[in-house]
Structure formats: C-alpha cells, structure tokens
Structure 1
Amino acid sequence: MSRRDLGLLVALSAIWGSSFLFIKVGVEELEPAVVVCGRLLVGALVLLPVALARGGLSGLRAMLVPIAVLGALNNALPYWLLSFAETRIDSGLAAVIQAAAPIFTVLLAIRIDPSQRVTGLRLAGVGLGFVGVALLVGLQEGAELLGAVAVVGTALCYAVSVLYAGRAIRSFSPLDVSIGQLSVGALLTLPAALVQWPAETPSAKVVGAVLVLGVLGTGVAYLLYFALIVRAGASRAILVTYLVPAFALVYGWLILGEAVTPSALAGLALILGGTALATGGRLRRR
C-alpha cells in the first residue's frame, strides 16, 4: 500500500469514526429519525453532482428494487437504530459493538452458501467475536442494554445488506447505487422526521453536527471509499473495519468526555481479533 493509499485509509477511518460523535451530538436535541433523514438527504446531495459529472444516473431505473432494499437495510433502518442507541449509550461503545458486523456476515453467508461453513480458526474467530459482543452487551442495564441491543441490530442490518448487495448489484455503478439507496433511505425516514420535527430551532452545534454527518460522514466518505477500492483494492479498503472503532473511542474520550473503560477495550480486542480470524481472506475478497 502506497503512502497516498494509506493516507486515504486513515482519512476514511477518521471520518467514519467521527460519525458516531456527530450522531451523539445530533440526538441531544433532535429525534433519531430527524438526524437520519437529514444525514441521508445531505449525503445524497453531495454525491449527486459527482454522478452527473460522470454521465448521469442512467442505470437507476434498472435497479429500483435493489436500491429500495438497500435503502432500507443499509441506510434507513441501521442508521435509525444506531442513532436511537446513542441516546442511551456512549458513541465509542456503539462503534465497538457495530464492529461485529463482519462476523454476522460470515454466519449469514453459511445459510446462503453452505460451502462457506466455518471450521478451525474461523470458528474460533466467530466464537471470540461473540464473546466480545456478549461482554459489552451483558454489562449494560436498563436503557443502556436496549441501546446496546439496537447496535447489534445495526450490525445485523449491515451484514444482510452486504450479502444482498453482493448478489443484486454487481453490475451497477457503486456511485449510482449509493445515491439511489441514500435517496430511498431519506424518503423512508421523511414521514417520521416530519412528525418528530422539533418545535424549536435546534442549536447551531446540533445543526452543524447533522450537516457534517451528511457531507463528511456520508457523502465524502463514500467517495473516499470508492477511491480507495479503485486505488488499493477491496482487500485493503476493508481494513477500515478495524480502524473506525479506535477512532470513535478516541473522539468520544477527547471531545465528549466519555470514559474508555477496560471492558470496552477488552470487547474491542475480542471483536476485532475474532473478525480477523473469522473472515480471513474471504472478507478481503468480498
């Protein structure tokens, strides 16, 4: 990996890691549906000029069903679950639990393709990852437990959407798919956002957090991810999975004053170690 590619990887990880921080700030005054709808709408608007400059969105009509499914499973539902969770738990903890998504992908892939059965080190990795998730979720109580379970739901949504996308949209432009699914996600969350629209104008800090979440954490992040895949390949781009939780923990500690507990660090080590073992080369190829 060249220095430029490494810089892209670190920049993308830093941006996606900051998304948990901005979600936490956004839900201080706004309902989760409002934060999600704003994020998706702004993200789609950021990507739209890039797509138009590259020849438009001619392929969208042919993939209406896939982008509708992905808009729900990869954007609207998991983004809402994550935002809801961060009304109850720390942003860093949410990032660590969400890092288990690749482990869920491995397990769900077995149902789709039995040849991908898990044995040996991969089986040990799955077990290790689930120990990490169980440790973090099991330590929560009351409202915090509900928040932790919501993040597990987020990870499951991402796992299902990855497997679905691998079969349904291989031949389509990633940029077109991204704009389509972000737009669908915004439409799906719009009714709830309008119903829960705040009676008073939120503070500049909260409005800024939602805007940055949409522009940087969604629109720009997608562009960086595509650029990294083109330059370094998917096997290198997937390394972002391992870096995002660490950035999120640091942001939460430095900016929000969240405690970095030994249990969070232990859970992070178990989940990322389990992910490395459970996925091996298959995650890189995927």
Structure 2
Amino acid sequence: MNTSETPGMLSWRVIVPFMLTGTIWGSTWFVITGQIDGVPAAWSVFYRFALATPGMFLLALVMKRSLKLDGPGHMLAVVVGVLQFCGNFMFVYHSELHLTSGIVAVFFALLMVPNAIFARIFIGERMQAGFMLGSAVAIAGVAMLLVHEARTSTLGGDVLLGVALCLGGLLSASVANVVQANEVGRRIAMVSLLAWAMLYGLVADLIFALVTVGPPPLPTGAMYWMGTAYLALIGSIVTFPLHYNLVREIGAGRTAYNAIVTVVVAMLLSTLFEDYRWTPLAMAGMALALGGMVLALRSRRTRSVKVGQATTMRPEPE
C-alpha cells in the first residue's frame, strides 16, 4: 500500500464508513434480543439468512464477482457455511437467552485471540508479545464483566451456560475464519465465497431447526420482521462493501479498530434498554477489556491482511 495515497483517519471517506459499520454492528447484538423473544432462536437464525443469502448473491453480481466455484471451492464454502452461518449464529442467538447482549458483543470482540492462535497453528502466523499482553488484559476485563453478570443476573438466565455457548460460537467463527484463509480461499472473491457459504449454512440452519424445534412458526409481529430485515440487509449486505472498502483504503489493521465502536454501541444499548447496571467491577472490567483490545490491535502484524478481513465474519457480527 502506498502510504502517500492512504487517506487520513479523519477523512470523510474513512470516518463515515468506519463509524457506520461499527455502529451498525454494535446495534445488531441488541436487535437479536427481539428475534428470540417468543420465537425459537433456531428459526430466527434461519429466517435471517433466508433473507440475507439472496442479497449476498445479488451483491456478488453487482460487484461483478464470479459465482462459479470448483469442487474444492464448494467444499470450503460448505465448511465455512456450517461453522459460520449455522454453528456460530446458533450459539450466539442461544447465548443471548442467558447473557446481556452487550456482554456477548464484548465477548466476541475477543475473536482476534483464537483467530491468532489458530492462524499460528495452521498457517504459521506469528504473534507479537504486545498482542499476547493486550489479549491477556482484555480477557481479564471480560472475565470481570462476566463475574458482574453472574452477580446481577439481569436476564435471570444461566450465566455459565451463556458463557459456554459464547465459547462455542467464538470457536466456530474462528475456525471458519482461519480455514477460509487457505490457498483455496485466497483465490476466491470474498463476496462469492460468502454467498455460497451462506447458502450452505442456510441449509444447515433449516435442518437444525427442524430437528431441534420442529415445524417453523410464522411470527406475525411487524417489529420481528423489521428486525430480521435489519439484521439480514443492513447488518450484513450493507456493511460488507463498506468494510472491505475500508480495508483497501486504510488497511486491515486500522479497520479492525471499529470493533471498539461496536463494543461501545452494544454496551450503550444494553444500558439503555436491558437495564444493565454499572458497578465499579463492571467499569473496571470494561476499561481493561477496551484497553487490552487497543493494545492487542496496535501489535497486529500488518501483513496478516487475509485473517484480518476474516475477523469480520461474525454475527454483525461480517
């Protein structure tokens, strides 16, 4: 990247999409709470991607990306789809039955940690000491937030089960992120891979919902379907082009800082609408979590562009 042509962070063509993507992704965690209120979480995941999948294929066509994949490409799309758009989202939606949505958002901001570990194991990416220190500080902060969550138990759910579900979602998303960065994934346009992965994930969502819940319910509330449309279209289809343009403009490393915006927005919404109560423990935990994330992100290797892009493949999360 030619740094002389790289726009500054305060340039309008950077700051607007930067804040917009962070704000949208921060809001999606709270919107999910309306999708699991009286409707089985598994079917809400299915409805979300039943709407998002055609949109992603259309986006690929608009961006003039080839949708033709060979055998290994389809196999990769199956793996990513099952892990990311079924396993990850099923874990996330069910975790929000037990944990405040903002806490789940903070938890998933740690996605960079297993990403880095798996990237080190499978594709030889090195981890810097600053990254490991920052990650440890962030994990300590999240642990304090979880202790606070267990003490207050705002939702009256099983906090330990919520944590276990978050871990399952985190690992599913991380494995999906790392495997798509292999040689097969590198030669496929990201939007094309996501379109096919969503389709395969949608099939897995349907099977999982039918087996675990039974016949699909048909929600009648307008707010439910407005939320579904927001998550599918705004939270996925709109934000992906904005995010990848930012990666091209300022690099994956600096783009990753919008995770901070995401966490702040998610916690603000939890405070306003989920009766999240701030205590000295919670404030200290949030300070450590955000400070640790900043320290870890500052230490990321700028050459790890592919894995950096892959970290956006979360429940908007990409």
Calculate the TM-score normalised by the size of structure 1: 0.88
Aligned equivalent of 2:234, options 205, 210, 216? 216
Change (3 A) 1:255 1:187: same
SS at match of 2:261: helix
Question: Given the superposition, is the C-alpha separation of residues 255 and 46 from structure 1 closer, same or farther in structure 2, using an over 3 Å criterion?
Answer: farther
Paired with 2:74 and 2:281, the residues of 1 have a C-alpha distance of 43
- Sort the Cα spacing of 1:255 and 1:283 in 2 relative to 1 into closer, same or farther, 3 A: farther
Which of 79-88 and 229-238 deviates more? Answer: 229-238
Amino acid at match of 1:105: N
Aligned residues: 285
Which amino acid in 1 is paired with 2:106? V
Question: 2:162 matched to 1:153?
Answer: no
- Residue 99 of structure 2 aligns to a residue whose secondary structure is coil
Correspondence for 1:91: 101
Name the Cα RMSD after superposition: 2.4
From the superposition, tell whether residues 190 and 77 of structure 1 become closer, same or farther in structure 2 (CA, over 3 Å).
same
Secondary structure at the counterpart of residue 111 of structure 1: helix
Q: 1:183 aligns with which of 160, 178, 199?
A: 199
Which residue pairs with 1:77 in the alignment?
87
Q: In 1, Cα distance between the equivalents of 2:265 and 2:228?
A: 19
Q: 2:313 is matched with which residue? A: none
Q: In structure 2, what is the equivalent of residue 60 of structure 1?
A: 69
Q: Does residue 232 of structure 1 match 2:241?
A: no
Give, in angstroms, the shift of residue 7 of structure 1: 0.5
Partner of 1:108: 118
The CA distance in 2 between the partners of 1:95 and 1:261, in whole Å, is 19
Q: CA deviation at 1:75?
A: 2.1
Moved more, 93-102 or 58-67: 58-67
Task: Pick one of 34, 40, 43 that aligns with 2:49.
Answer: 40
- Please give the per-residue CA displacement for 1:213-266, whole angstroms capped at 9, x wherever unaligned: 111112212222122223333233212222111111112223444434544443
Q: Which moved more, 1:100-109 or 1:250-259?
A: 250-259
* Alignment pair present for 1:137 and 2:139: no
After superposition, the Cα gap between the structure-2 partners of 1:93 and 1:261, relative to the gap in structure 1 and judged at 3 Å, is: farther
Q: Which one of 193, 200, 205 corresponds to residue 209 of structure 2?
A: 193
- For residue 164 of structure 1, the aligned residue among 167, 174, 179 is 179
Aligned CA distance change for structure 1 residues 261 and 180 (closer, same or farther; 3 Å): farther
What SS does structure 2 have at the residue aligned with 1:59? coil
Partner residue of 2:287? 269
Question: Aligned pair 1:51/2:60, yes or no?
Answer: yes
Q: Which segment is superposed worse, 158-167 or 239-248?
A: 158-167
Unaligned segments of structure 1, at least 5 residues = none
* Residues in 2 aligned to 1:213 and 1:115: alpha-carbon distance in whole angstroms: 32
TM-score under structure 2 length normalisation: 0.80
More helix by share: 1
Q: Label 1:113 to 1:218 Cα distance change in 2 as closer, same or farther (>3 A).
A: closer
Change (3 A) 1:68 1:260: farther
SS for the counterpart of 1:58 is coil
Deviation for aligned residue 1:25? 0.8
The Cα offsets for residues 172-215 of structure 1, whole Å up to 9 and x where unpaired, read as 11110111111111111012334445556342212221121111
Aligned partners of 1:135 and 1:267 also within 8 Å = yes
1:133 deviates by 3.0
The SS at the match of 1:169 is helix
Q: Does the aligned pair in 1 maintain the 2:39–2:219 contact within 8 Å?
A: no
The answer to which of 196-205 and 220-229 deviates more is 196-205
Secondary structure of the structure 2 residue equivalent to 1:89: coil
Distance (Å, rounded) in 2 between the aligned partners of 1:217 and 1:280: 26
Which stretch of structure 1 is more off in the superposition, 255-264 or 37-46?
A: 255-264
**CA separation in 1, counterparts of 2:63 and 2:119?**
34
Q: What is the identity, as a one-letter code, of the residue corresponding to 1:218? A: S
Residue 133 and residue 283 in structure 1: after superposition, are their counterparts in 2 closer, same or farther (change >3 A)? farther
Distance 1:199 1:163, change over 3 A: closer
Q: Give the direction of change, closer, same or farther, for the CA distance of 1:271–1:152 in structure 2 (3 Å limit).
A: farther
Distance across 2 between alignment mates of 1:199 and 1:275:
40
Amino acid at match of 1:25: G
SS in 2 for 1:87: coil
Structure 2: give runs of 5+ residues left out of the alignment.
Answer: 1-8, 151-156, 305-318
